[in-house]
Structure 1
Amino acid sequence: MHSFRHAGWTVDVGAEQISGQGYRATWELLSRLGVPEDDVPRIGRSVGVWRGGRAHAGVADVSAVLTGAGLSPRARLDLARLLAWTAIHRREFDDDHPERTPAGSLTLRDFARRYHRDVHDYLLQPVAGSFFGWDTARSAAAPMLALLLAVGPAAGWRTYRDGMDLLARRLAEGLDVVTGSPVEEVVTEEGRVRLRVGGAVVTARAAVLGVPAPVAARLHVNAPADELPYLTACAFTPTLKVSCLLDRPLAPPSRTPLYVLLTPDAEDDTLSAIIVDHAKHPGRAPEGKGLLTLMADARTIPALLKRPERETADRLVRAATPYVPGLDRATERRFVHAFTHGLPEATPEALRRRTPFMARAARPVEYAGDWVMLRPASEGAVRSGALAASRVLSRLRPPRHVPRPPLPTEENVA
C-alpha cells in the first residue's frame, strides 16, 4: 500500500485499486477514519486483453459474453456456462473461508479444463497472472473465483485519490510508529512474547507479525505445532513492475479507453499487464504528462530480480513499446519496484491447512496480512488486521465484572 511522489507524479508501488463492493471491512475502516467517498473515486475505465494484434476491451465484465473481450465465439458460450455456474453456487463461496467452496482444491488450470481453452488462456490466466502473479498450474481456483464474485465488474473499481497509501497514512496519524528497526527473532514465553529488535530485547504481552507468511515462519522461532503447517504452506509469488514517467499521456490504442491492458502468456513472455495510471486518476501525473506501470510476467521475474535495475527497465520498456507506440521516446524517468514476497499464492495445500490454523487459540503472537485470509488484496489485509486485533484484545482485556446478586434478606425477599 505504498506510494511515492516525484516531481508531481504519484506512483503506486504495490496495490493499484480497490473495489466499490466486496470490500466491506475496508469501507467500514474508511468511514471510521472519516475518509469521504470523494477521496476514493471510481476509475471508470475498461480492462482489455491483447489478442491477434490488438486490444479487446471488456475483460472482467459480464458483457464479455456478447462482446467477446478476446474470446472466440465458442469460448463465449463456455464463459456463459461459467457465469451461470458461479451464479448458482454464489452463496457457497465465502471470502473469509476460501477453503469452503464448490471448486474444491482444484488449481485454476484444472478447473478451466471443463471449458474452452480460451477461457483459461485469455481470461483466467491473464487475470491471475497480472493481478496476483499466479501460475495457474499451482494456484487454487476457489480464492480467485470468490474474490472476482465479491469485487464485481471492473466498472465498479476505485482508487485512492492521492495515492494507494492514503489508508495507511491515515491509520498512522497520531500513533507512535517506528520504522527501520529490523526484527531479528520472536519467541513466545509463558503468556508473553520476547523480540530481538535491532540488537535490543523487547518484551510484550502481545505482538502482531504483519509480514508475509515465510517471514513470519522464520522470525517466530518457536511457533506452535498447529501454526507451522499453514505458515509453511503459504507460499508467495514475487512481483516486479516498472513505472514510466511520461512527457505526454500515452496509452495502448483501443476503441474503448483502457485502465489496464492484459498481455496473456499465450501472447507475451515478458509482460503480464500495462496499467494506465493517469487514466486511473488524473492526479497520478502532472497536467499534460502521463504515467504507465509495466507489470513483469511471473515467468521472467526470478531472472529479472538478479539483473541491474536499468537492464530490467530497458527490457520491459522494449516489450511494452509495441503495445504503446512511442513509449520509449516519451519516457522521462523509470523506477523499478520489486518484491520477493509479492502476493500470497493460494495453493491447494494452503487451502487444506487453513482450517486448523484459523481454529487455533488466541496467543501472545498473532499474524496479519492478506495471506491469513488467502485473499491477495488489500481487503484481505484489512480483514486480517481486524481479526488479529480482536484476538489480541480477547487476551489483554480484563474479564468483565459481573455483579453478584444480593444475598437474600427479609426486605428483598419480600
Structure 2
Amino acid sequence: MSPGLDVAVVGAGMAGLTAAHELRRAGLEVRVFEARDHVGGRMRSFRRDGYTIDEGAEQISAHGYRATWELLARLGVPDHDVPRIGRSVGVWRGGRAHPGVAELSAVLTGAGLPPRARADLVRLMAWAGARRGAFDADHPERTPAGALTVREFARRYHRDVHDYLLQPVAGSFFGWDTARSAVAPMLCLLLAVGPAAGWRTYRDGMDLLARRLAEQLDVRTGRTVHEVVTEADSVRLRVGDDTVTARSAVLCVPAPVAARLHANAPADELPFLRACTFTPTLKVSCLLDRPLAPRCRTPLYVLLTPDAEDDVLSAIIVDHAKHPGRAPAGRGLLTLMADARRIPDLMAAPENQTADRLVRAAGRYVPGLEAAVKHRFVHAFTHGLPEATPDALRRRARFMARPARPVEYAGDWVMLRPASEGAVRAGALAASRVLSRLRPPRTTGPAHPAARPTEETVS
C-alpha cells in the first residue's frame, strides 16, 4: 500500500507545529493530529470576559530563544506583539517580599540572601561565567556540572543559595524536585535567557505563535492517535477508528506518551525515552475585580514562595503586570502555582477544593484576595515539564546519535530544556532528520526552501 501522506505529525504543541511548518516549507505533504480540540499544548491561552488566561507557559526571553525569534520573524510577527514584561521577580523570606531575583543586582541587594550566601552567589556566578561557553543548552550532557542534581551541586555553597534561590526557581518555573533533577540543564537555560529584565510575553496570549503556525498547516484537532507502527520504510498510525499511512511520522508528545504509542520502537531508543520522566504541573487562574498584587516595595511580575516558607504554593504570577491586556481595565488576574509536593493530592481533589486551597494560601501574600476573586480556573498537566534527571542526561548523547528512521521524536524533553524554545528547536531538528531520509517530495507544486538544521546548527 502506498503511504497516504509524506509525514504524519502527532501533537499540535510547539514542537509539532514547528516540525510541520519546516516540513511543509520543504514541499512535503504534512498532516498534524491533535487529540485535544485546540492547538498549542502547554502554550495554550483562552479568553473569558475580556481576560486572556495562559494555561501553561508564561514568558519567553529576548535572549536564548533564537529559533523562536526566527520563527516569529518568518511569520511576520512584529516586535510590539512580543512586549517586554519589565517587572521584577521577588522571593518571600522573613515575612516580606525581596525583589531582584534573576537580576545581576542580586549580589548587591541580596534578593533575600544574607551576606554569606550573597558571597557564595558571587562565587557561583564567577564559576559559571568563566565556563559559559561550556554550558551549551543544546548539549547539557557536556557541561562541567556533569550529572549532579541541583541539590548536590548546591552543597558547595551556602545553604540559602539552594533554599532561597535555586530551589524556588527550579520549583516554580520547572516544577522540579531539586534532589531528582540535574543542575546542568537548569544552568544552561538560566545562562542563555539572562536577567529577568529581558523576559517578554506575547501580547495576545502565549498561544500567539502556535495559532500563527497552525493557520498555515493541515491540523486535525479532536483526532487521537492510539498506536504508531514502523513498517519497513513507512509508518502506520491508528487514528481513532481509522488507519493512516505515511512515509514518516514525528511523535511530538511527552516521552512517556511517545514510548507507549510507538509499538515497535527500536531497542536503542527506549533507554532515553524511559529515562525522560515528567513532573506534573498545576496552577489556578484567579479573575479579580481589582488589580491586586503581592506586597512589595517594587512592583512584581512573579513572587517565588520557597519550600522553606510555603508547602502549598511555589509562586504567584501577576498577569495584569505581565501585560495590561491580560485583564480588563480596573481588573486583575493572578496565577497561583502549586508546590510540586502537593500536586498529586491537588490533582486528585475536586477542582473547587483545589482552587480554594491555593487561594487561601495566597491570601498570606496578597491581602484581600479571597474577596476580590470572581472566577477561578484550574489548569493541570500530568506531563507538565521534563524532569531532566541525571539518568536522562547520561543517556541523551547515544539517543541523539541514532540514525534517522521512519519515526522521529520532538519535544522539549529531547533537548532536556523545559521551555518553549526547547520544543521549537526539537521540532526543527526532527524536521531536519526526516528530510535527510525521505526522497524528494512527490508533490509537483513549487517547493519552498527549508531550513534543514542539524543538532549543531539549531543552537
> TM-score, structure 2 length as denominator?
0.86
AA aligned to 1:228 is: L
- CA distance in structure 2 between the aligned counterparts of 1:397 and 1:319, rounded to whole angstroms: 58
Tell me the CA shift for residue 174 of structure 1.
2.7
- The alpha-carbon deviation at position 175 of structure 1 amounts to 1.7
Equivalent in the alignment of 1:13: 55
Deviation of the 1:102 alpha carbon:
0.3
**Map of 1:311-350 to 2, 5 A cutoff?**
311-350=353-392
> Is the counterpart of residue 175 in structure 1 residue 213 in structure 2?
no
- Cα distance in 2 for partners of 1:204, 1:258 equals 49
> 1: CA distance between counterparts of 2:255 and 2:212?
25
5+ residue gaps, structure 2, are 1-42, 442-459
Q: What residue number does 1:43 align with?
A: 85
Matched, 1:203 2:275: no
| CA distance in structure 2 between the partners assigned to 1:30 and 1:397 by the alignment | 29
The SS at the match of 1:127 is helix
Deviations 1:9-34 (A, max 9, x none): 00000000000001010001111111
Equivalent position of 1:280 in the other structure? 322
2 CA distance for matches of 1:100 and 1:179?
A: 38
Q: Runs of at least 4 residues of structure 1 off by over 4 A? A: none
1:76 aligns with 118
- Partner of residue 107, structure 2: 65
Code of the residue aligned with 1:273 in structure 2: it is A
Residue in 2 aligned with 1:306?
Answer: 348
Structure 1's unaligned 5+ residue stretches are 400-414
Q: Which moved more, 1:125-134 or 1:199-208?
A: 199-208
Q: What are the within-5 Å matches in structure 2 for residues 159-238 of structure 1?
A: 159-238=201-280
What is the CA-CA distance between 1:291 and the residue it aligns to?
Answer: 0.2
Deviations along 1:190-238, one digit per CA (max 9) or x if unpaired, are: 0111111102111100111110000000000110111100000000000
How far apart are 1:86 and its partner, in Å?
Answer: 0.5
The CA RMSD measured in Å over matched residues stands at 0.7
Letter in 2 for 1:350: A
The Cα of 1:398 is off from its aligned counterpart by 3.0
2:22 maps to none
Deviations 1:170-204 (A, max 9, x none): 00113211111111111111011111110211110
1:122-164 superposed Cα distances (whole Å, 9 cap, x missing partner): 0000000000000000000000000000000000000000000
1: distance between equivalents of 2:279 and 2:114? 30
Q: Return the alpha-carbon distance in structure 2 between the equivalents of residues 172 and 222 of structure 1.
A: 30
SS at match of 1:298: coil
Determine whether 1:270 maps to 2:349: no
Q: Could you tell me which of 244, 254, 265 is aligned with 2:296? A: 254
CA distance in 1, matches of 2:342, 2:183: 23
**Residue 253 of structure 1 aligns to a residue in which SS?**
coil
Q: Does 1:362 align with 2:404?
A: yes
Deviation at 1:296, TM superposition (A): 0.1
Q: Which amino acid aligns with 1:379?
A: E
How many residues are paired up?
Answer: 399
Give the Cα–Cα distance (whole angstroms) in 2 for the partners of residues 361 and 379 of structure 1: 24
The 5 A counterparts of 1:73-152 are 73-152=115-194
Q: Percent identity over the alignment?
A: 82
Q: Which has the higher contact order (CA 8 A, sep 6+)?
A: 2
Structure 2 residue aligned with 1:352 = 394
Amino acid at match of 1:88: A
The aligned amino acid for 1:74 is R
Q: Secondary structure at the match of 1:187?
A: strand
The two structures have a TM-score, normalised by structure 1, of: 0.96
Task: Specify the code of the residue in structure 1 equivalent to 2:316.
Answer: I
Select the structure of larger CA radius of gyration: 1
Report Cα offsets for 1:296-316 as digits up to 9, x if no partner.
000000011110000000000
Matched, 1:241 2:283: yes
Equivalent-residue separation in structure 1 for 2:91 and 2:398 (angstroms): 39
Distance 1:286 1:226 in 2: 52
Instruction: Give deviations 1:4-58, integer Å, cap 9, x for gaps.
Output: 0000000000000000001010001111111111100000000000000000000
Residue equivalent to 1:156: 198
Letter in 1 for 2:189: L
Which residue identity does 2:230 align to in structure 1?
T
Q: Which moved more, 1:170-179 or 1:348-357?
A: 170-179
- Are 1:391 and 2:391 matched, yes or no? no
Report the AA paired with residue 408 of structure 2.
E
